Structure 1
Amino acid sequence: MVSHKKLRTLNIGVKELKDDAIYFCEAKNKKGEKMRDELIEITGRELKVLTEMQGFKKGMVRYSKILFYDVIKEKPTVPVD
């Protein structure tokens, strides 16, 4: 069962993430401070699984005890001609 909780930055529910879409995430610590400058790319399906397995805190997907993913935006897709 996918969490009904809302993501902080995107302001949508976890269950509203598209499975095959790729999302940009910021890695943050428990205090919400950015851990690295680069954005992480992860699929919606993986984010949903992480939410089920690891949990959710303050609108962020828990990755480990000290690392959380703040989902920033969906990666734009390039149409194939």
Structure 2
Amino acid sequence: MGCTTSRYATGKKKPVPIREIVVFVPSTRVPKEIDLRRPLRGSLSEGLLERLAALRAKVVALSEKWSLNCSTPTGNIATED
């Protein structure tokens, strides 16, 4: 699953450095804005609806933050001279 170990160059015992590491990060999209209170009003208590709305707001905030962080590259890629 994408894991690798150092390989030996032909006949030498010196490990060959891994030059590049690629990590697949699935995209996180911002959830579509919907009103959860109307369809769930009769079946859940008001307090539970409040908690559900607060959790959904946190998910939206985190996904917006994540999508901004993932779109801009951070850090330096080490290159061999």
Structure of higher CA gyration radius:
2
Of structures 1 and 2, the one with the larger relative CO (CA 8 A, separation 6+) is: 1
Same fold (TM over 0.5): no
- TM-score, scaled to structure 1: 0.20
TM-score normalised by structure 2 residue count:
0.20
| Greater fraction helix | 2
